[in-house]
A and B are shown apart, each in its own frame.
Chain A
Amino acid sequence: MAETRLPETTVENILEFYDEAPCGLLSTRPDGTIVAANDTLLAWTGRRRDQVLQRIRIQELLSIAGRVFWDKHLFPMLRMQGQMHEVALDLLEPEGRRIPVLLTGAAKLDADGAPVLFRFTILDATERRQFERDLLRARARAERSAESKAELVHMVGHDIRSALNGILGGAALLADTDLSDEQQEFLRFVQQAARTLLDLSDNVLRAGRIEAGGLVPEEREFDLRELVARSCDLLRPRAEEKGLSLTAETDPAIPDRLIGDPVKLGQVLGNLLGNAVKFTRVGSVRAEAWLAADLCDSVLLDFRVSDTGIGIAAERLHRIFEAFTQESYETGLEHGGAGLGLAICQRLLGLYGSRLEVESEPGRGTTFGFRLRLMKA
C-alpha cells in the first residue's frame, strides 16, 4: 500500500474495494465455515451477511454433487497443495437458482504450516459456461458432419471400384480379340490408367478407414523373413520391367517367429517398395530389416527401404507425409497417384507408436526407415 503512488486527490478505500469488487470474495475456516464475504458475493447468493457469517459452510452454497466434489477433491487439494485454480462449480441461491462460477482459492497457513483460513475469489462464469456448451455442441456437429463425409467417400469409392472393375474386365476381354498393333497399344493405355485409378480408390478407402479410427492392429504370429521376401516378390515384375535390381536382406539375429500384424506391415513395406520402384529409373531398390535391440520378450527392429531414384529436395521432405501431396506436382503428373501412400504408411505405423523417417538426396536416392517393437512369439 505504501508503495502505491496515486494522484494526491485520489485515495483508494480498501474496504470499499473489498465489498464492491467485481468478483466474489470469501474466506472460510478449514471446515468450510464462512467467516467473511463481500457484498458482491452476498448479492449473488441472495443472502444477508448475518445469515451467512459463522452460520453456514461453503459446502451449503453448493449442490449435493458440488459438496461431494468439495469433500473428495477440492478440500484435499486445498489442504495438501494450498491452492486450487478456476474450478467450475454452481452456487445455489436459496430459491434453487444456480449461478455458474469459477472458484480460485488459497490457504492461509499458521506458523506451523497448518491452514487457518481458505480464501477464495469467485468469478461469475455464466457466459463462459454458455460458451463451453456452445463449443461442445459445435464439436458434436463437426464430428457428425465429418462422419457423414467419410461415409460419402466410402460409398463413392466403392461405386468407382465396381465401375473400374467393369472397365478392366471389358478391356481384358477386348485384349483377347483380334486387334491391330495400334489398337493393342491404345488398349494398354486404357488398362494402365484404369489400374492406376483402381489403386487410387483403394488408397482413398483405406485412408478413410484409418481416419475413422476403424483400424486396430492385429496380433498374430508371423515370419518376418517371409513377409519381407514376399513384399519384394510382389514388386519384382515391375522392377524387372524397368531393369532395376530388387534385393531383400533380413538380419539373421531376428527371431523366426514374431507377433504383430503382418497385413499392415506388408502394406507399409509394399507401399514403400512400390514408391521406390516408381521413382527409380536406373539402379536398385533394397529392403532391409535389422535387429536394433533385443528386449527379452520383444525386439526392436529397424526397417529400411532405399532406392537410387530421383530423390526428394530438402525443402519438400517435411511435406511428403501429408495426405494428397506428392514429392512435387510435376513428378505427381509424371508418375501418377495422389500421394496417399506415405500418409497411409505414417498412420499405420502410428497405430504402433512408430513413425516413418526419410533421408534423401536429389539425383542420388531416398531411404525410408521406421522402427518397430514386436513381441517375440
Chain B
Amino acid sequence: MIGSRGPGREQDERASPAASPAALRDPLLRHNVTVAGSGAETLVFAHGFGCDQNIWRLVAPAFSATHRLALFDWPGCGGAPAEAFDPVRHRTLQGYADDLLAICAALSLKDAVFIGHSVSAMIGLLAAIREPTRFSRLVLVTPSPCYLNAEGYAGGFEPEDIDELLELFENNRLGWPAALAPLVMGNPERPDLTAELEASFCRTDPEVARSFARVTFLSDNREDLPQVRTPSLILQCAQDVIAPETVGAYMHRAMRDSRLVTLSASGHCPQLSAPEDTIAAIRTYLGIRHG
C-alpha cells in the first residue's frame, strides 16, 4: 500500500475490527438480537448476569409456534461486542434499561411480553416504568430487587459475600483466561486464536463482567417496585440462594398487579433445571392452552 503512488480506493481489509461503528449504532446488531417464531405477540427474552441468550434454549422454542420471539445479549456477553459497553452509562441498571428500550424501539414493539431472568427482571421492570406501552406483561424469573440485607429486609447477602463473589468471577474464567490466554497462545497479534479459545457458552468480557456484577449485586430497586403499572408474574424457585422465597414474597407484596408462582425446582435457573415447569407456568400466565 505504501509503494503505490496516487490514490488507491480499495476497501481496507484492516479497517473492520470486532465491531464496526455501524454495528455499534444499530441496537439489533449491538445486542446480537435474534428474532424467531411467528405470532401477533412478541416475547422478549433477557438473560441474567454470567450468561447469554443461550440460557433460554430449552424454553424459548416452546413458544415459537404461537409468538414472535426476540432474544438478545447484554453488551460484552455472548455475541454482543464489548465495545457496546459504556463504562459510564452501564454503571446503573437504568443504563441497561436504555439498551432494552432501544431494542424495543428498533423492533417497534408495543404490548410485548418481557421475560427476564435474575438481574434482567429488574432491568425490564425499570424499562416498563419508563415506557409503559412497550410491555403488556412482565415475567420475572427468580428476581430480586436488592441482594444485600437491609433494615427489615432479608436480601440474603452481606457486603463481604458480594466482595468474595466479585473476586470469584475475577479469579475464574471471566478474569484469568482472558488475561492469560494471549500469553499462553504467545500470539497477541492474532486475537482470533485467543477468541476461539475463550468462545463458549456464557462468554463474558472480563471488564464488562466486573462492572455488570457490581451493578447487579449492589443495586437496590426496592423503591421502584410500587411504580410498576404493568401486570407481572414472579417465578421463583424453592431453595434459591440468590433470590430466596422471602424476596419473592416481598416483591409480590410491593407490586400491585403481580402474581407469584413458586416452582418446585431448586436453584436459580429454572429455565435450565426445570424447563417444562417454567414453560407451563409462563403458558398458564399468558393464557395459552397447554399443547
Where the two chains meet, the residues of A that have a C-beta atom closer than 8 Å to any C-beta of B are: 30-32, 59, 63-69, 71-73, 75-77, 79-81, 87-89, 132, 251, 253, 290-293, 295, 297-298, 300, 302, 304, 353, 357-359, 367-369, 371, 373
Q: Which chain A positions have C-beta within 8 A of B9?
A: 291-293
Q: Establish whether residues A68 and B12, one from each chain, have CB atoms under 8 Å apart when the complex forms.
A: no
**A71-B242, A293-B9, A371-B12 known; A65+B269 contact, CB < 8 A:** no
> Quick one: which of B7, B10, B55 contacts A76, CB cutoff 8 A?
B55
> Quick one: which of B3, B176, B202 contacts A77, CB cutoff 8 A?
B202
Q: Which chain A positions have C-beta within 8 A of B157?
A: 64
Task: Sample 25 A-B pairs with CB under 8 A, ordered by A number.
Answer: A64-B165, A65-B161, A65-B167, A68-B268, A69-B169, A69-B172, A71-B240, A71-B241, A72-B49, A75-B272, A76-B51, A76-B55, A76-B269, A77-B200, A80-B272, A81-B201, A253-B7, A290-B6, A292-B8, A292-B12, A293-B9, A293-B12, A300-B15, A357-B2, A371-B14
Q: Which chain B positions have C-beta within 8 A of A59?
A: 241
Q: Which chain B positions have C-beta within 8 A of A68?
A: 161, 165, 241-242, 268
Q: Establish whether residues A77 and B201, one from each chain, have CB atoms under 8 Å apart when the complex forms.
A: yes
Contact mask for chain B residues 66-108; partner A; CB cutoff 8 A; 1 contact, 0 none: 0000000000000000000000000000000000000000000
B233 to chain A, nearest CB (A): 21
Nearest to A85 among chain B residues (CB) is B173
A233 to B201, CA, bound (A): 57
Q: Does B171 contact A (CB under 8 A)?
A: yes
A142 to chain B, nearest CB (A): 15
A17 to B168, CA, bound (A): 32
A144 to chain B, nearest CB (A): 19
Q: Which chain A positions have C-beta within 8 A of B15?
A: 293, 295, 300, 371, 373
A68 to chain B, nearest CB (A): 5
B223 to chain A, nearest CB (A): 24
A115 to chain B, nearest CB (A): 10
A80 to B78, CA, bound (A): 13
Q: Which chain A positions have C-beta within 8 A of B14?
A: 371
B218 to chain A, nearest CB (A): 13
A287 to B198, CA, bound (A): 43
> Quick one: which of A69, A72, A88 contacts B118, CB cutoff 8 A?
A72
**A64-B241, A69-B165 known; A297+B21 contact, CB < 8 A:** yes
Size band of the B side of the interface? 35 or more
**A72-B118, A293-B9 known; A66+B168 contact, CB < 8 A:** yes
A132 to B179, CA, bound (A): 13
- 10 smallest beta-carbon distances between A and B, as pairs: A369-B2, A65-B164, A71-B268, A65-B165, A72-B50, A73-B50, A290-B7, A81-B201, A64-B161, A79-B272
A80 to B55, CA, bound (A): 8
> Quick one: which of B10, B161, B268 contacts A292, CB cutoff 8 A?
B10
**A65-B161, A292-B7, A300-B15 known; A73+B51 contact, CB < 8 A:** yes
Q: Establish whether residues A63 and B49, one from each chain, have CB atoms under 8 Å apart when the complex forms.
A: no
Q: Which chain B positions have C-beta within 8 A of A77?
A: 200-202
Q: Does B48 contact A (CB under 8 A)?
A: yes
B11 to chain A, nearest CB (A): 6
Q: Which chain B positions have C-beta within 8 A of A357?
A: 1-2
Q: Does B222 contact A (CB under 8 A)?
A: no
Q: Does B221 contact A (CB under 8 A)?
A: no
The winner among A69, A81, A298 for most chain B CB atoms within 10 A is: A69
Q: Does B253 contact A (CB under 8 A)?
A: no
Q: Establish whether residues A89 and B2, one from each chain, have CB atoms under 8 Å apart when the complex forms.
A: no
A303 to chain B, nearest CB (A): 10
Q: Establish whether residues A31 and B3, one from each chain, have CB atoms under 8 Å apart when the complex forms.
A: no
Q: Establish whether residues B54 and A371, one from each chain, have CB atoms under 8 Å apart when the complex forms.
A: no
The winner among A66, A72, A80, A357 for most chain B CB atoms within 10 A is: A72
Q: Which chain B positions have C-beta within 8 A of A298?
A: 21
Q: Does B273 contact A (CB under 8 A)?
A: yes
A256 to B59, CA, bound (A): 55
Nearest to B213 among chain A residues (CB) is A72
Q: Which chain A positions have C-beta within 8 A of B168?
A: 65-66, 69, 88-89
B124 to chain A, nearest CB (A): 18
